[in-house]
C-alpha cells in the first residue's frame, strides 16, 4: 500500500445529498438498474448529478506546529563529527515549524457538519475548509476516531445553511454500480472522476481497525482524502480512504469506507461526541478450508467462536464455544473483519440477531447491544521515581478500557495508557498498550500495586511485558 500524508495512505473523494439528521435511504433496487441500450444513451451526462453534489464537497486545510531539532551542516565533516558527535545528534534548541496538509471533506448537514479522514486533521492546531464557491471558513474538530480513520468537523460562525449530501445505505450497493468521486487531487482544484464499484466487503486493506471497504476504479489520488463516493442519485455511499499504488498515483484500485460506518460515527458526533460500540464478549477466528472440512461445510464461511466472557452479551445470548456465526441480522459474514464491521455499526441499545450453525443445526440467537463495562475502576496513575516505569500513565484493565486501547477484551491487569516524551519509560522501550505482567517476579494486578513496586530500588529490574500477544522479558539496571 503506497500512501501520502499520515500513516502512509493516499486518499480520495466523492458525494451525495440530504441532511445528517435524515433517515438512511436505500439505493436503487437490482431490477431498477439498466445498462446502456444505444449509442445515444452512452452519450448521457453525469453533469446534473455533479451540479447537485459538488457544492457539498470541500477542501480541508490543516495546520500543525511541530518541534524540529536543528542539525549542524558540519555533521558531514569527519573532523567535526569526531569532536562534536555523530550525524543526527541534536544541535541547538528545537525550533517550531508549521506543517500543512491538504485533504477533502463532505458536508452532511445544513448546519455545517463535515466528514473527513482522521489522518487529514491529525494533530492539527488550525483547520479551515474551502467551499466550492471559493469561500474559506474556520472549522472545529468535534470528533476524531483513529480506529475508522474518520473525523467530524463543524464550520464555525455559520450565517447561512450549506449545501449537503444524504447518506445512502451502503449495504445495498452492488458490484458494477456506477459511482463518482469528487475531490481535490494534488491540489489542482475540484475534480470529478467516474468508475464502478469493483468489489464489496474488501478486507486486508490495513488502514483502519474495521477492514470492510468498497473497492472502486474511479480515479483516486493524493488530496482526495476524506471525500465521498457518490451513487447515481447523488447520495453518499462511501468516504474514499486509500489506494493501492506502486507509483503514488491512481492505478484503478481505490478503497472507500462504507457510508453506513460514516453515518454511525457522524451520529455519535451529533450526540455527546463519544463513540460507543457494542461489546460482544466473545473471541472469534476465521474459518479455514481445513476447519470447514472438519465441520462438514461445503466451503469456508462465517466466524468460529473461540472464547466467551462470563456474563457478557454473548454468554447471556446462549452463544457457545465452537458455534459458527454466519449472519448478523440480515447480513452474511465471511470472516472476522466482516463480522466486526457488521456488529460494530449496530447502535447501542436494543438487540440484534445472530444466525449460528452448531451440531444440532441452525439456530437464531438474540444478542443485546450494550457498551463494554468498566468492571474495575481504571484508577489511572502516573508513575514517578527512578523506576523503568517513570513517566508512564497506567490504568487497570477492564473490557471498556481494553476496547478503548484496542486490546483483547480478555486481557487483565495493568496497561500503559500514555508515555511522557523522553521519559525513562519511553527511553527503556516501553510502549503504549504494553501490559505489565510482573516485576522482579511479583505479579502486577493493579495500578496501586505497580506504584508500590516502582517505589523500590532493587538494583536490577526484571520485567515481564505482554505486547501483541507475546511475553517480553527485560532486565535493566537500577
* H helix count then E strand count, the chain: 11, 25
- Burial readout 47-82 (b: 16 or more C-beta within 10 A, e: otherwise): eebbebbbbbbbbbbbebeeeeeeebeebeeeeeee
Domain that holds residue 468: 381-477
442 within a domain of the structure (yes/no): yes
Same domain, 110 and 234: yes
> Rounded mean pLDDT of 77-93?
49
Of 250, 273, 296, the last residue of a domain is 273
Angle at 218 between CA 217 and CA 223, to 5 degrees: 120
Annotated binding site for substrate: 119, 149, 223-225
Of 310, 344, 368, the last residue of a domain is 368
pLDDT at 247 (0 to 100): 54
The domain spanning residue 139 has which CATH number? 2.40.10.120
The domain spanning residue 420 has which CATH number? 2.30.42.10
Same domain, 50 and 195: yes
Same domain, 95 and 236: yes
pLDDT at 1 (0 to 100): 41
Same domain, 106 and 1: yes
> Rounded mean pLDDT of 34-44?
68
Active-site annotation holds for 225: yes
Annotated binding site: 119, 149, 223-225
Taking only the tens place, the pLDDT of each residue in 43-74 is 678 888 888 998 999 989 888 776 555 555 54
427 within a domain of the structure (yes/no): yes
Give me the catalytic one of 149, 171, 177, 335. Answer: 149
359 within a domain of the structure (yes/no): yes
Q: 28 versus 214: which is more confidently predicted?
A: 214
Same domain, 241 and 108: yes
Same domain, 132 and 243: yes
39 within a domain of the structure (yes/no): no
Of 308, 335, 368, the last residue of a domain is 368
Taking only the tens place, the pLDDT of each residue in 285-298 is 999 999 998 888 88
Active-site annotation holds for 149: yes
375 within a domain of the structure (yes/no): no
Q: Cα separation of 223 and 225, whole Å?
A: 5
Distance from the Cα of residue 303 to its chain's centroid: 22
Same domain, 189 and 251: yes
459 within a domain of the structure (yes/no): yes
pLDDT at 466 (0 to 100): 95
pLDDT at 122 (0 to 100): 87
Taking only the tens place, the pLDDT of each residue in 95-130 is 666 667 678 999 999 999 999 999 888 888 889 998
State the residue for C-alpha cell 521519559. Answer: 423
143 within a domain of the structure (yes/no): yes
Same domain, 139 and 9: yes
Give me the catalytic one of 225, 245, 250, 387. Answer: 225
Total domains present in the chain: 3
Same domain, 446 and 329: no
Same domain, 196 and 247: yes
Q: Cα separation of 374 and 397, whole Å?
A: 8
Give me the catalytic one of 104, 109, 119, 198. Answer: 119
Confidence of residue 179 (pLDDT cuts 50, 70, 90): very high
End-to-end CA distance of the chain: 43
Active-site annotation holds for 411: no
Same domain, 90 and 53: yes
35 within a domain of the structure (yes/no): no
Same domain, 202 and 268: yes
Amino acid at each position: 500500500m503506497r500512501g501520502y500524508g499520515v500513516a502512509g495512505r493516499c486518499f480520495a473523494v466523492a458525494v451525495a445529498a440530504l441532511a445528517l439528521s435524515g433517515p438512511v435511504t436505500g439505493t436503487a433496487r437490482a431490477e431498477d438498474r439498466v445498462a446502456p441500450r444505444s449509442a445515444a444513451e452512452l452519450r448521457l451526462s453525469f453533469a446534473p448529478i455533479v451540479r447537485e453534489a459538488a457544492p457539498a464537497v470541500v477542501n480541508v486545510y490543516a495546520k500543525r506546529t511541530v518541534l524540529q531539532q536543528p542539525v549542524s551542516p558540519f555533521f558531514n565533516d569527519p573532523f567535526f563529527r569526531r569532536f562534536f558527535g555523530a550525524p543526527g545528534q541534536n544541535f541547538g534548541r528545537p525550533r517550531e515549524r508549521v506543517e500543512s496538509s491538504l485533504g477533502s471533506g463532505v458536508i452532511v448537514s445544513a448546519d455545517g457538519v463535515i466528514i473527513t479522514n482522521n489522518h487529514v486533521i491529525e494533530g492539527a492546531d488550525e483547520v479551515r475548509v474551502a467551499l466550492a464557491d471559493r469561500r474559506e471558513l474556520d472549522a472545529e474538530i468535534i470528533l476524531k476516531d483513529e480506529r475508522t480513520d474518520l473525523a467530524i468537523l463543524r464550520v464555525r460562525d455559520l450565517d447561512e445553511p450549506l449545501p449537503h449530501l444524504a447518506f445512502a445505505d451502503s449495504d445495498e450497493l452492488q458490484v458494477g454500480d456506477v459511482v463518482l468521486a469528487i475531490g481535490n487531487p494534488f491540489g489542482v482544484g475540484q475534480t470529478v472522476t467516474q468508475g464502478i464499484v469493483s468489489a464489496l466487503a474488501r478486507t486486508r486493506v490495513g488502514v483502519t481497525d474495521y477492514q470492510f471497504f468498497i473497492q472502486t476504479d474511479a480515479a483516486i489520488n493524493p488530496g482526495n482524502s476524506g471525500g465521498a463516493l457518490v451513487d447515481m442519485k447523488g447520495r453518499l455511499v462511501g468516504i474514499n480512504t486509500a489506494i493501492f499504488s506502486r507509483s503514488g498515483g491512481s492505478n484503478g484500485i481505490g478503497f472507500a469506507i462504507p457510508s453506513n460506518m460514516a453515518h454511525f460515527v457522524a451520529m455519535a458526533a451529533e450526540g455527546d461526541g463519544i463513540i460507543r460500540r457494542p461489546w460482544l464478549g466473545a473471541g472469534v477466528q476465521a474459518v479455514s478450508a481445513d476447519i470447514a472440512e472438519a465441520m462438514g461445510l461445503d466451503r469456508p464461511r462465517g466466524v468460529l467462536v473461540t472464547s466467551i466472557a462470563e456474563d457478557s452479551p454473548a454468554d447471556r445470548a446462549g452463544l457457545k464455544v465452537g458455534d459458527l456465526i454466519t449472519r448478523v441480522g440480515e447480513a452474511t459474514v465471511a470472516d472476522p473483519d466482516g463480522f466486526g464491521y457488521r456488529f460494530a455499526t449496530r447502535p447501542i441499545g436494543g438487540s440484534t440477531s445472530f444466525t449460528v450453525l452448531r451440531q444440532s443445526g441452525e439456530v437464531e440467537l438474540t444478542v443485546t447491544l450494550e457498551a463494554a463495562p468498566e468492571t474495575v475502576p481504571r484508577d489511572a496513575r502516573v508513575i514517578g521515581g527512578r523506576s523503568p516505569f517513570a513517566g508512564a500513565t497506567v490504568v487497570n484493565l477492564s473490557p471498556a478500557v481494553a476496547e478503548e486501547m484496542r486490546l483483547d477484551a480478555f486481557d487483565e491487569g495493568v496497561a500503559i495508557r500514555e508515555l511522557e516524551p523522553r521519559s525513562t519509560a519511553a527511553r527503556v522501550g516501553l510502549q503504549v498498550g504494553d501490559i505489565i505482567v510482573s516485576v522482579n517476579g511479583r505479579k502486577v494486578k493493579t495500578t496501586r500495586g505497580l506504584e508500590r513496586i516502582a517505589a523500590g530500588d532493587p538494583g536490577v529490574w526484571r520485567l515481564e511485558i505482554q505486547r501483541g500477544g507475546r511475553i517480553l522479558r527485560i532486565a535493566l539496571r537500577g
